[in-house]
Amino acid sequence: MTDPRIRAATPDDLDDVLAFWKTAAEGTSISDDRDGVERLVDRDPGALILAERAGGPVGTVIAGFDGWRCHLYRLAVHPAHRRQGIGGALLTAAEERFARLGGRRADAMVLTRNETGQRAWRAAGYSSEEQWRRWVKPLTGF
């Protein structure tokens, strides 16, 4: 099997990415829709990174940098393409992006029930910080 092509997503990729996430990603968020992902790509064109084969996505990662912190979201690999180095290639692309932007530490949000994801992040050199809790509030009604 050929190595996937790793590249930044464009607005033309968004429908394919959203369909891909329904198959390959764990869980959803309030911003996992066309409008939310379109805003991401418009605001930070290099943040959504794709791995593709035969023109379609087989993996994604969002490498968001706010000027201070490096955040990783939506690391997902299609079930039929897992254990082929795609996740590692996406993380390398994300980490290289962060380094170019001046980032010094990357973090990732991983669902506690996502044991496959937990193993993948651990294998990539990330460690859990159990002392932290994530606090969220949907911003609606404004």
- Over residues 65-80, the pLDDT tens digits come to 999 999 999 999 999 9
How many CA atoms within 13 Å lie on the side-chain side of 19?
Answer: 6
Q: What is 38-59 written as a DSSP string? A: HHHHHH-TTSEEEEEETTEEEE
The pLDDT of residue 30 is 67
Q: How long is the chain?
A: 142
Give phi and psi for 112, each to the nearest 5.
-60, -30
**Do 81 and 58 meet the contact criterion of CB atoms below 8 Å apart?**
yes
**How many alpha carbons fall within 13 Å on the CB side of residue 101?**
22
Largest CA distance in the chain: 49
Reported as half-sphere exposure (CB side, CA atoms, 13 A), residue 116 has a value of 11
Distance CA 88, CA 61 (A): 11
Closest CA to 16 of 3, 34, 42: 34
Could you report the per-residue pLDDT of 51-65, keeping only the tens digit for each?
999 878 999 999 999
The chain-wide mean pLDDT, for the chain, equals 90
- For domain 5-123, give the CATH number: 3.40.630.30
Is residue 27 scored above 70 in pLDDT? no
pLDDT above 90: percentage of residues in the chain = 67
Asked if residues 44 and 11 have their Cβ atoms less than 8 Å apart, the reply is no
Look at residue 81 in the predicted model and tell me its pLDDT: 93
Structure tokens at 90: 């996406």
Residue spans of the domains in the chain: they are 5-123
Tell me the sheet residues that pair with 61: 49
- Rounded to an integer, what distance in angstroms lies between the CA atom of residue 1 and that of residue 103? 33
In the predicted model, what is the mean pLDDT of residues 85-92? 95
